[in-house]
């Protein structure tokens, strides 16, 4: 089983590449989805987040107000570290369970979609590290258009993540996403062939 670490900064198109690989037969373990799962209403994770950051991070329905929490942690490294200390161990535990399930199912390629792979020094956990790359200004415009996020908020998140050069330096393979959606799909197809060859 080939273990692939897939990463890219906010707005890079990492999720689109992940979806293309899943469509072609990869088992995808999505760290963002797991991070949401471990702080759902009724979980210990959410209770710890509220104890740390206060009731103000809750939405009216009792779930986590991710936008509000993001405003707090992306402007304060210390508070972000406290959030990570709550969420990351839970994500790691759940990810390990899903990886084991994939191994038992006989999957040839398992893609672990992890935004903070470089920031958390996780490259060594994978057989191959793939970086989805796009220029910062392209990423800002994408996120502003797709998610309606203020450009300054997008820049704050970019500054809180690894720089483009640092991320590229960690890559075994790079998917360029500075072009169209069609070009990205073609790049994902080439990536899939390369991963199958390695598997």
Instruction: Give the number of other CB atoms < 10 A from CB of residue 69.
Output: 19
Distance of CA 99 to the CA centre of its chain: 16
At 172, phi and psi to the nearest 5? -90, -35
In a domain? residue 89: yes
Question: 87 and 111, same structural domain?
Answer: no
- Domain count of the chain? 2
Residue 18 shares a structural domain with residue 85: no
Distances (CA, A) of 143 to 101, 105, 161, 188: 33, 36, 15, 20
Residue 114 in domain: yes
CB contact at 8 A, 41 and 62: yes
Q: What's the pTM value of the predicted model, to 2 decimals?
A: 0.83
Q: Is 58 inside any structural domain?
A: yes
Query: Looking at 89, 106, 123, which one is the last position of a domain?
Result: 106
Q: How far apart are CA 108 and CA 194, in angstroms?
A: 13
pLDDT of res. 99: 87
Residues 184 and 127 in one domain: yes
Asked, for residue 33, whether it belongs to a domain, the answer is no
Instruction: Verify that 76 and 135 share a domain, yes or no.
Output: no
Last residue of a domain, one of 59, 88, 106: 106
Whether pLDDT at 171 is above 90:
yes
Same domain, 99 and 186: no
Share of the chain above pLDDT 90, in %: 87
Distances (CA, A) of 71 to 45, 54, 192: 19, 14, 36
DSSP alpha helix (H) spans, the chain:
14-24, 31-37, 44-53, 66-73, 77-105, 136-147, 151-160, 164-169, 181-198
| 45 and 12, same domain (yes or no) | no
Nearest of 9, 16, 4, 6 to residue 164 by alpha carbon: 9
Same domain, residue pair 61 and 7: no
At residue 74, the pLDDT reads 84
Task: Examine residue 34 and state whether it is found in any structural domain, yes or no.
Answer: no
Q: What is the pLDDT of residues 51-67, one digit of tens each?
A: 999 999 999 999 999 98
DSSP strand pairing (109-113 vs 2-7): parallel
Give residue 151's pLDDT. Answer: 95
pLDDT (tens digit per residue) in 27-83: 999 988 999 999 999 999 999 999 999 999 999 999 999 989 998 998 898 999 999
pLDDT in tens, 138-163: 999 999 999 999 999 999 889 989 99
Alpha-carbon distance 38 to 83, whole Å? 12
Its domain, for residue 55, covers 41-106
């Amino acid at each position: 089983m080939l273990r692939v670490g897939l990463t890219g900064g906010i707005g890079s198109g990492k999720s689109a590449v992940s979806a293309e690989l899943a469509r072609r037969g990869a088992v995808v373990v999505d760290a963002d989805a797991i991070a949401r799962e471990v702080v759902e209403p009724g979980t210990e994770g959410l209770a710890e987040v509220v104890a740390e950051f206060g009731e103000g991070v809750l939405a009216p329905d009792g779930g986590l107000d991710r936008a509000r929490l993001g405003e707090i942690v992306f402007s304060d490294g210390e508070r972000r570290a406290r959030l990570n200390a709550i969420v990351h161990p839970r994500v790691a535990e759940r990810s390990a369970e899903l990886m084991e399930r994939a191994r038992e199912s006989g999957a040839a390629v398992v893609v672990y979609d992890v935004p903070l792979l470089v920031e958390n020094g996780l490259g060594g956990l994978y057989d191959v590290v793939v970086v989805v790359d796009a220029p910062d200004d392209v990423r800002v415009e994408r996120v502003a258009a797709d998610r309606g996020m203020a450009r300054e908020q997008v820049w704050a998140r970019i500054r809180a993540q690894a720089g483009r050069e640092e991320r590229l330096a960690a890559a075994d393979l790079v998917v360029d996403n500075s072009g169209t959606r069609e070009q990205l799909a073609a790049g994902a197809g080439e990536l899939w062939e390369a991963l199958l060859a390695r598997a």
